[in-house]
Amino acid sequence: MGIEETVIAASGALGLLIGSFLNVVIIRLPKNESIVHPRSHCSGCGETIRWYDNIPVLSYLLLRGKCRHCGTRFSARYAIVELVTGLLFAALAWNTLARGTGGATTESVARLGVYLYLTAALVASTFIDLEHQIIPDEISISGCVLAPILSMLVPSLHGTNGRMEALGLSVLGGIVGAGGIWLIGVFGKLIFRKEAMGFGDVKLMGMIGGLLGWKGVGLTFLIGCVSGSIIGLLLLAITKSRYLPFAPYLSFGAMVVVFFGREIGVFLGTTYPEWIRSLFIH
């Protein structure tokens, strides 16, 4: 097995474990409880969940989603979060190290590390927003602070070798991301006379912009709006719920940019104008 395959497999395994940790974050962060103490326990009988009953995805399947002691049903979300995080981590490793790139180098592995961090933050934000209609500051504000630092450490995040250039692009991306969605929220409030967007989304977009740059965060917003309008309106019709969480769609947009940002950039910058030109010039 080559170094790339090893990192892909290790990332997948790490993703399953991080997913298990994110389940704790998703439950405890909105309640302001410690995420390290106490150990996970059954909500039915209070029994501490043993390590062998806490193996990501596998334990859920073996115990058929129930507590070993009292039979209380656990939400399928536990297994879903673990599986999604594991699959995303493995796919990110493949995308960053093996798909048409220079393979595993110190820089590309470091860049992968940042993408894994962003993904973990987005998975947690998505599921917390779905359940509690908030995005915790612990995730978004710390992300806004960390993004410029990580950009200086891993300048290839912004397609450059220069650390100061990466810092500048990160700050610009953060301002465009947070400022853009904030302005749209202000105008939305003026037009619709109700809160259009939460401030949690503003901070989350600051983090995404700080790591993906102004083009990346712009594209994230576009994809988030399109997917959010389509799926959100469908859900609105079915559930009549008045709250439309935005974090899941922004997270989806950011993931599309991480995976396909390069191709989309080539299409919008080169292929698309070429295609338009070919319509008029024969």
Which of 49, 184 has the CB closer to Zn ion? 49
Which of 72, 105 has the CB closer to Zn ion? 72
Distance CA 273, CA 261 (A): 17
Q: Which amino acid, one-letter code, is at 13?
A: A
DSSP H helical segments within the chain, as ranges? 3-28, 58-62, 77-93, 106-132, 137-153, 163-192, 199-239, 247-266, 272-280
Q: Is 34 helix (H, G, I), strand (E, B) or coil?
A: coil
Distance CA 118, CA 142 (A): 11
Which of 28, 69 has the CB closer to Zn ion? 69
Distances (CA, A) of 135 to 145, 164, 282: 16, 30, 52
Which of 72, 241 has the CB closer to Zn ion? 72
Which of 67, 104 has the CB closer to Zn ion? 67
- Closest distance to Zn ion from the beta carbon of 130 (Å): 25
Distance CA 98, CA 246 (A): 32
- Closest distance to Zn ion from the beta carbon of 69 (Å): 5
Which of 42, 258 has the CB closer to Zn ion? 42
Distance CA 127, CA 147 (A): 22
- Closest distance to Zn ion from the beta carbon of 30 (Å): 23
Is the alpha carbon torsion for 231, 183, 254, 216 positive or negative? positive
Question: 156: closest CA among 96, 205, 199, 226?
Answer: 96
Residues that bind Zn ion (CB under 5 A): 42, 44-45, 67, 69-70, 72
